[in-house]
A and B are shown apart, each in its own frame.
Chain A
Amino acid sequence: MKYFTPELYQQFNSFDVNEAERADEAWDCAELRYKERLAIIRTHMPSQVLSLSELCLHDALVVSRVEQELPNGPCSHPMPYMWSSVAIVSVILGEEVISLIYNLSDHIVTRPAPEDWRFSKVEEQWLYDEVDMVNDQGGLFIHRIMFSTGVTLEIPFLSVMIHRFKVPSAAKIAKQSA
């Protein structure tokens, strides 16, 4: 994470009220810097990346995250043999399952929680995320995500698809199968 770091989040949650208040102000500054960055890169974003940057998955339960390298094989011209990999992060938010399907430009970098991370690791929930461009020319993007476990992901990607569907209730399934 570049703006909303796990360390800053920890400080914001400090039992020391003064430290927590300082972190509160630092968080506001980070938010401002991130919004300024988004305003600069927004015009270079394809619509799906723009949608990703406008998504709010705060508190969503992370149910699956996988990276799958596709077998190397002949592709169409002009890159007959290119590395290709896909990542899928699926979350449940309310009654919806939302899957983010990334066409990766490189492997995902997973960073463990800081050693003194004091929050529960029982379940993984989405806390904060940042969408950025690798350079200012466009084309390569990066999605950084911080989870409630303190783990962070850096997902370098070329394109992304946001797939969502409603989970049918157990009662509805029972009614249909009756």
Chain B
Amino acid sequence: MVRGKIRSPKGMKTESQPIAPQLIFQARLGTNGAVIRVQPPINQAQAVIIRQKDGNVVVCGPDKKANSMTARDIEQSANGAWRRCKPHINAGPNAMPHYQPDPRGQTIGHTFYETDTKHPL
């Protein structure tokens, strides 16, 4: 038996690593802008309801662009007009980008999303 690396023939698809699914969580805020996931994961419809009640949610997953788009959809469904904000540089090292209603009014909730460098706890 020949031992060594198994190479896939050219043109053939190799078995890829399983991609972590995108998950949505209710969230609460910690210190230094930290976003803390509340288990278990929820679905998008539940996230919209939480946002309509001015709570916080966070969209997690390996694809930042996809997370941002889902967060945008949640905010759009919950509050209509939205604006997307990067964390202010003094918001704390754990602060995350998010969507929020536009105008803000008296609301305080956010739809956060995970990026390559900003992760919830």
User: Which of A's residues lie within 8 Å of B, judged by CB?
Assistant: 12-13, 17, 20-21, 24, 27, 31, 34-35, 54-59, 61, 119-120, 122-123, 125, 127-128, 148
Contacts and interface: CB of A to CB of B under 8 A. Distances in A.
A21 B86 CA distance: 12
Given A20-B84, A56-B91, A148-B83, 11 more contacts: A20-B68, A21-B65, A31-B86, A54-B90, A58-B85, A58-B91, A119-B83, A120-B102, A122-B103, A127-B85, A128-B88
A120 B88 contact: no
Given A17-B65, A119-B83, A34 B103 contact: no
A24 B91 CA distance: 17
Contact of B89 (A13, A31, A61, A127): A31
A12 B86 contact: yes
A34 B104 contact: no
Interface of B: 65, 68-69, 81, 83-92, 100, 102-105
B25 to A, nearest CB: 22
Given A13-B83, A21-B65, A119-B83, A56 B90 contact: yes
Nearest to B97: A24
Contacts of A17: 65, 68-69
Contacts of A31: 86, 89
Nearest to A57: B88
A123 B105 contact: yes
23 contacts: A13-B84, A17-B65, A21-B65, A24-B86, A27-B86, A31-B86, A56-B90, A57-B88, A58-B91, A119-B83, A120-B81, A120-B102, A120-B103, A122-B103, A123-B103, A123-B104, A123-B105, A125-B104, A128-B88, A148-B83, A148-B102, A148-B103, A148-B104
